A and B are shown apart, each in its own frame.
Chain A
Amino acid sequence: SQKIEQNSEALNIQEGKTATLTCNYTNYSPAYLQWYRQDPGRGPVFLLLIRENEKEKRKERLKVTFDTTLKQSLFHITASQPADSATYLCALDINDYKLSFGAGTTVTVRA
C-alpha cells in the first residue's frame, strides 16, 4: 500500500540552528512533492514545490531536496527563528492534481 512517513512527531531546536525534516514515501511515483506549514487552528499554507527532475529548491531560509531513488525529500529551515515554530506537512502528487499528505512534523524553536 502507499505510505508517506515524516520523521518523528516533534522536533525541538535552538534558535539559529538548522532544522531538518524528512519525508519518506513508498509505492508512489510522484511527479512533484510539496511542503506546507500549518499553525494551530489554521489551514495549511503552501511553502514549496519540487518536481521529480529537480534536486533542490530554495526559498529564503527554506531548502528542499528530492531524491526519487531514495524516495525521500528533506526540508531544511536554516537560521531558525521562534516564528518558524509550526507543523510542517509534506504532500505527494497522486494523480489528477490530488495530493496525499504525511502526518506532519511539529517544530518548536527555542529562543
Chain B
Amino acid sequence: DAGITQSPRHKVTETGTPVTLRCHQTENHRYMYWYRQDPGHGLRLIHYSYGVKDTDKGEVSDGYSVSRSKTEDFLLTLESATSSQTSVYFCAISEPTDTNEKLFFGSGTQLSVL
C-alpha cells in the first residue's frame, strides 16, 4: 500500500474515551488525508494536511482533531468517542503536481465504539 501504515488495524473502545489513530508514510509526500467510510456514504473527508503543522478541515470534521508534527506522521484523534464514529478510517497521501493528483490509500482502521 504505497508505503503507508495505519495503526491500529482494529480497535474497540467505549463511548466517551479518547482514541488516536496513526498514519505513517515512507514516501515523503506533502499531502495527507483522513477519510471515513460508511455504507451508503462512500468516503468522506475528515481532515487533511498540506505540510508539517499545516492542516485544515474536511466535510465531517466535528468531533475530530489532527496533528502533523513530522512529514511522515498524521494523527487523528477522537477526543471523546461516540457510537456515530464507528466506521472504517482510511489515511491517504499524495504529492500532487499539474499532471498527477492521485491519492494512495492505507489499508484502513476498523473502529468500533460501543
Contacts and interface: CB of A to CB of B under 8 A. Distances in A.
Interface string B1-40: 1000000000000000000000000000001010100001
Interface in A83-111: 89, 91, 93, 96-104
Contact of B42 (A46, A49, A93, A101): A101
B106 A96 contact: no
Interface residues of B, number: 26
A42 interface: yes
B45 A98 contact: yes
Contacts of A98: 33, 45, 48, 58
Contact of A44 (B41, B44, B59, B105): B105
Nearest to B102: A46
B63 interface: no
Interface residues of A, number: 23
A89 B107 CA distance: 16
A41 B94 CA distance: 21
Nearest to A6: B42
B79 to A, nearest CB: 23
Contacts of B94: 97
Contact of A97 (B41, B101, B106, B108): B101
Given A96-B50, A97-B101, A98-B58, A43 B106 contact: yes
B82 to A, nearest CB: 22
Interface string B89-114: 01010101000011111111000000
B101 A43 contact: no
A42 B43 contact: no
A72 B52 CA distance: 36
A34 B31 CA distance: 17
5 contacts: A42-B108, A43-B108, A44-B43, A45-B105, A97-B96
Given A42-B108, A97-B50, A103-B41, 9 more contacts: A43-B92, A43-B105, A46-B102, A46-B103, A49-B101, A91-B103, A96-B50, A101-B42, A102-B42
